[in-house]
Structure 1
Amino acid sequence: MARLIEKPTKIQACGTKEKKIKEFIGNVNSKTDAVSIAKMESPQGWEEPGQTPEFDEYTIVLKGILKVETEHNSYEVKAGQAIIVVQHEWVRYSTPYQGGAEYIAVCLPAFSPNLVNRDR
């Protein structure tokens, strides 16, 4: 049965500066644990701790540049590009460039604080 999602829920973000997370589909907004879909707005200078998540993350950059660091590579994902980070791969996201970035993140299974495994 189809379900209309009227609006997203704002989620508290982890990181050095205030990042806006609007979850449309996921554990919080739609009580969906199979997948989460959220729009992120990260200001210039934002970064979060590294993590080794127990979910795959598919990211599409809408505006700006998202820096994605893995154990072996560093990527500058620009507007119109996407990146896939598979579960159990160490990753760190940041937006060090002017203007920050806006992007859509899809996590399978859905993002959960219990599954993200942030560095301490």
Structure 2
Amino acid sequence: MPKLISAPAVVAAAGTRPKRIEEFAGRVNSGHADVSVARMTSPSGWQEPGQRPEFEEITVVLRGMLRVEHDGGALDVQAGQAVVTAPGEWVRYSTPGADGAEYVAV
């Protein structure tokens, strides 16, 4: 039987400015250990520390621009675009644009 997730859980975020993370599926909201689906809303000027996630991550930008720095440079991912990062790859996300960004991370 399908299970309705009626609302996301708001999760604390790392970074230089407040960022909103709304987890729909994952450890916090649904008990899923192997997948996470979250909507992020990041203000202009937000930046998180660099990281090497142990999992593949797919990020779809809904509004604004998300900058993804990596060992080979940087990608500016615009609304309507997506980016896929590999497990163990060094990345740092930021939203330097004037309007910040809204995106979904899986």
TM-score under structure 1 normalisation?
0.87
Unaligned runs of 5+ in 1: 107-120
Q: Which residue of 2 aligns with 1:11?
A: 11
Give, in angstroms, the shift of residue 2 of structure 1. Answer: 1.6
Percent identical pairs in the alignment equals 54
Q: Which residue of 2 aligns with 1:110?
A: none
Q: For 1:2 and 1:35, how far apart are their aligned partners in 2?
A: 17
Q: For 1:73 and 1:63, how far apart are their aligned partners in 2?
A: 22
Q: For 1:62 and 1:102, how far apart are their aligned partners in 2?
A: 5
Q: For 1:70 and 1:84, how far apart are their aligned partners in 2?
A: 12
1:89 aligns with 2:86: no
Q: For 1:57 and 1:42, how far apart are their aligned partners in 2?
A: 17
Q: Which residue of 2 aligns with 1:58?
A: 58
Partner secondary structure for residue 64 of structure 2: strand
Instruction: Kindly report which structure 2 residues correspond to 1:36-75, keeping only aligned pairs within 5 A, or say none.
Output: 36-75=36-75
Q: For 1:90 and 1:75, how far apart are their aligned partners in 2?
A: 13
Partner secondary structure for residue 62 of structure 2: strand
Per-residue Cα deviation, 1:6-27 (whole angstroms, up to 9, x for no partner):
1000000000000000000000
**Aligned AA (1:93):** Y
Q: For 2:36 and 2:53, how far apart are their aligned partners in 1?
A: 14
Partner secondary structure for residue 15 of structure 1: coil
Q: CA RMSD in A?
A: 0.5
Q: For 1:54 and 1:25, how far apart are their aligned partners in 2?
A: 18
Structure 1's consecutive aligned runs of 4 or more residues displaced over 4 angstroms after TM superposition are: none
Give, in angstroms, the shift of residue 34 of structure 1. Answer: 1.4
**Aligned AA (2:86):** V
Unaligned runs of 5+ in 2: none
Q: For 1:62 and 1:51, how far apart are their aligned partners in 2?
A: 23
